[in-house]
């Protein structure tokens, strides 16, 4: 279906379609084939980042996608106290979208999950209920195209492929940092009678056979990540190879990407008492990694997985830095690159190949918090660099108190030195009594 999107954009470029007709075509495609168009949002955002379409046109197309609402898309009603402190942020410039009235939890569970809950995962202390998954569908992804002058992109494997004679790819979970993510069966563990033979596999999207330095850097990054053991971090088992294909083995996952939740909540956001455990969980995972002197460097909603009980788990610490500059344009889904998609969440210091710093992870955390609460990107999906150049400012988050507003604004600062220096500092400020009173309705 990605080729269909290319046809629409091509017709738009040649004048065969008007913008309104293109938007109508996108809306119709999403309505008639929701599964086949599930990655169109990321593709459109990639085209914006690659300057193949204008931001204004991209937003129109994304809005056209969102105009199609599946029948059971519902959200929980906010339960915060009516007397909660409400203060505008220090740098508002335009009214923010107001969260719409949301419905009950049973309706939320009826739609939210689109991956089967085969494997149990550790439960969070935050008791949030999430939905069961519908029947999984086989992916019909188009094969990535090789690009001149970069490491060769590897073709996407079919479901049922067995890697190293051991790992059978059973489900396609999506696209994480630098590669595709699959749910898999460890056949050796299954034959040995293991009660939990499931694993998650991240397939590296490019062939590093002739890139020994990149291969070594990737192995080093994975080995460092193996030391991270935290509820909010996906546990990494190791890195292996199947011919010229490298892949990372991780703990089994059941649930969906945070990016899917954010996309569903676009324009309305989610209730503060639902957003808090997600933001807090991500911050706790980052704080643990920062204490181990490990920076993520590519945090985005598609490097965070929400398990079936609502626990956020971070994936892909430091892996993006392991690949050489020549791979920045690698294809992962048609012409989509994860780096292009991640620009809307990236602090530009590391994008300029500077040394990673823990404060750089706080910028995407702020973006994610803002998106969850408002249903909109704080800078209209522009990169930090573009937002700075255009002097973009933050719109207020309705109902959020001054303490929390200032904290999120600090995270979204264009300058590294103005952000909290690490996630532990963020949590110290976020756990202040004023915010707790607001979130939990305490007086």
Task: Find the farthest-apart pair of alpha carbons in the chain and give their distance in angstroms, rounded.
Answer: 62
Q: Would you give per-residue pLDDT tens digits along the chain (443 residues)? A: 557 888 898 888 888 888 888 888 888 888 787 767 767 777 787 677 667 888 778 878 887 876 543 332 222 333 333 333 333 334 334 444 443 333 333 333 333 333 333 333 334 444 333 333 333 444 444 444 333 335 667 787 899 999 999 999 999 998 755 778 999 999 999 999 999 999 999 998 888 877 788 788 888 889 888 999 999 999 999 999 998 889 999 999 999 999 999 999 998 999 989 998 999 999 999 999 999 999 998 899 989 999 999 999 999 887 765 554 333 333 332 223 334 447 788 886 544 546 788 999 999 999 999 999 999 999 988 888 889 989 999 998 988 888 899 999 999 999 999 999 999 999 999 886 544 445 444 43
Q: Which architecture does CATH list for 162-250? A: 2-Layer Sandwich (3.30)
SS3 category, 325: helix
Burial label, 190 (beta-carbon count in 10 A; 0-12, 13-18, 19+): middle
Query: CATH 1.10.510.10 region(s) of the chain?
Result: 105-133+256-440
d(CA 358, CA 247): 26
Do residues 301 and 257 make contact, with C-beta atoms less than 8 angstroms apart?
Answer: yes
Residue 362 bridge partners (DSSP): none
Any idea which residue has 């200032």 for tokens? 406
CA 200 to chain centre: 17
Q: What is the pLDDT of residue 51?
A: 72
Query: CATH 3.30.200.20 region(s) of the chain?
Result: 162-250
SS3 category, 61: helix
User: What tokens appear for 4 in the block?
Assistant: 């269909």
Name the residue among 169, 386, 365 with its Cα closest to residue 275: 365
d(CA 405, CA 395): 11
Q: What is the pLDDT of residue 50?
A: 67
The backbone torsions φ and ψ at residue 333, rounded to the nearest 5 degrees and listed phi first, read: -145, 100
Handedness of CA 49, 51, 52, 54 (dihedral sign): positive
Q: What is the pLDDT of residue 418?
A: 95
SS3 category, 223: helix
d(CA 213, CA 220): 10
The pTM score is: 0.64
Q: What is the pLDDT of residue 10?
A: 87
Do residues 428 and 434 make contact, with C-beta atoms less than 8 angstroms apart?
Answer: no
Q: What is the pLDDT of residue 186?
A: 98
Q: What is the pLDDT of residue 365?
A: 97
Model confidence pLDDT, tens digit, residues 235-260? 999 999 998 889 999 999 999 999 99
User: What tokens appear for 29 in the block?
Assistant: 């495609």
Name the residue among 128, 166, 78 with its Cα closest to residue 277: 128
SS3 per-residue string spanning 5-41: HHHHHHHHHHCCCCHHHHHHHHHHHHHHCCCCCCCHH
Do residues 289 and 228 make contact, with C-beta atoms less than 8 angstroms apart?
Answer: yes
- Look up the CATH superfamily of 105-133+256-440: Transferase(Phosphotransferase) domain 1 (1.10.510.10)
What own/partner pairs with CB < 8 Å and gap ≥ 24 does 28-33 have? 29/1, 29/4, 29/5, 30/64, 30/65, 30/68, 31/68, 33/1
Q: Which residues contact 359 (CB under 8 A, 6 or more apart)?
A: 347, 416, 417, 419, 420, 421, 422
- Extended beta strands in 224-317, E state: 236-242, 245-250, 255-257, 304-307, 312-314
């Amino acid at each position: 279906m990605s080729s269909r999107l290319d046809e629409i954009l091509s017709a738009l470029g040649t004048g065969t379609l008007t913008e309104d007709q293109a938007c109508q075509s996108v809306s119709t495609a999403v309505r008639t084939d929701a599964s086949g168009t599930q990655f169109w949002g990321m593709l459109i955002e990639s085209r914006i980042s690659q300057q193949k379409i204008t931001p204004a046109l991209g937003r129109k197309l994304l809005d056209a996608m969102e105009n199609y609402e599946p029948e059971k898309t519902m959200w929980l009603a906010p339960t915060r106290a009516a007397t909660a402190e409400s203060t505008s942020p220090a740098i508002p410039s335009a009214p923010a979208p107001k969260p719409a009235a949301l419905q009950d939890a049973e309706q939320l569970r009826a739609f939210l999950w689109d991956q089967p809950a085969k494997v149990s995962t550790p439960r969070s202390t935050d008791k949030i209920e999430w939905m069961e998954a519908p029947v999984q569908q086989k992916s019909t992804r188009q094969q990535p195209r090789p690009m001149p002058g970069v490491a060769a992109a590897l073709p996407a494997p079919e479901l049922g492929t067995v890697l190293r004679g051991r790992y059978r790819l059973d489900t396609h979970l999506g696209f994480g940092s630098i590669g595709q993510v699959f749910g898999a069966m460890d056949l050796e563990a299954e034959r040995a009678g293991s009660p939990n033979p499931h694993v998650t596999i991240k397939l590296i999207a490019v062939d590093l056979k002739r890139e020994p330095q990149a291969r070594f850097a990737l192995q080093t990054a994975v080995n460092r990540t193996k030391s991270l053991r935290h509820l909010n971090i996906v546990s990494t088992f190791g890195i292996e190879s199947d011919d010229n294909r490298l892949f990372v083995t991780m703990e089994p996952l059941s649930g969906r990407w945070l990016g899917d939740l954010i996309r569903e909540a676009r324009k309305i956001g989610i209730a503060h008492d639902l957003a808090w455990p997600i933001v807090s969980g991500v911050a706790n995972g980052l704080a643990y990694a920062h204490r181990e002197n490990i920076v993520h460097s590519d945090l985005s909603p598609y490097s965070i997985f929400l398990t079936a009980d609502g626990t956020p788990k971070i994936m892909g610490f430091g892996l993006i830095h392991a690949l050489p500059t020549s791979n920045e344009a690698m294809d992962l889904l048609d012409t989509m690159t994860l780096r292009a998609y991640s620009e809307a969440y990236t602090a530009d210091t590391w994008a300029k190949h500077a040394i990673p710093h823990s404060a750089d992870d706080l910028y995407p955390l702020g973006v994610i918090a803002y998106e969850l609460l408002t249903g909109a990107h704080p800078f209209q999906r522009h990169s930090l660099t573009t937002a700075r150049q255009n002097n973009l400012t933050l719109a207020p988050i309705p109902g959020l108190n001054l303490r929390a507003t200032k904290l999120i604004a600090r995270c979204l600062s264009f300058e590294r030195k103005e952000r909290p220096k690490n996630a532990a500092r963020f949590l110290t400020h976020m756990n202040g009594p004023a915010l707790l009173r607001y979130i939990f309705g305490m007086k």
